[in-house]
Amino acid sequence: QVQLQESGPGLVKPSQTLSLTCTVSGGSITTNYYYWSWIRQPPGKGLEWIGYIAYTGRTHYSPSLKSRTSISRDTSKNQFTLQLSSVPPEDTAVYYCARGGYSGRSLCFGSWGQGTQVPVSS
């Protein structure tokens, strides 16, 4: 059974870069046809998909965040990472990594990390 675990430094200061790592066990991030995604949920709000890195290594980002988003991977460690730059306080959220697959044009996420709280605050 695939498991995902988010990790990172915790609090991020406004205007800095938010960096998180997702460590995957029980499955390879290069396995066809999975899409390794970052998703966030601000307090009291709904889930927002940030982007993914596909099993091929190709990335795709939410249009609203793509200018600030970079997702990469380290296949030797079976990890993928999120870098979200120039963060405002509104980026405060629980950040999740998740494994998704396409159902038609929509991604469905069947495996999730537990999430990590990332305050963006001075």
Render pLDDT for 85-107 as a digit per residue (tens, 0 to 9).
999 999 999 999 999 999 999 99
The pLDDT value given to residue 96: 98
Residue found by looking up tokens 């709000």 in the block: 45
- How far apart CA 29 and CA 14 sit, in angstroms, is 31
The pLDDT value given to residue 61: 98
The answer on pLDDT for 10 being more than 90 is no
What letter would DSSP give residue 56?
Answer: T
List of E strands, 26-92: 35-41, 48-54, 59-61, 69-74, 79-84
Query: How many percent of the chain have pLDDT more than 70?
Result: 100
The pLDDT value given to residue 91: 97
Q: Token pair of 2, please?
A: 């695939």
Q: Minimum mean pLDDT among 10-14, 19-23, 40-44, 62-66: which range? A: 10-14
Q: Token pair of 47, please?
A: 């889930």
- How far apart CA 77 and CA 24 sit, in angstroms, is 9
Mean pLDDT score of the chain:
97
Residue type, 27: G
Question: pLDDT band for position 9 (50/70/90)?
Answer: confident
Query: How many percent of the chain have pLDDT more than 90?
Result: 98
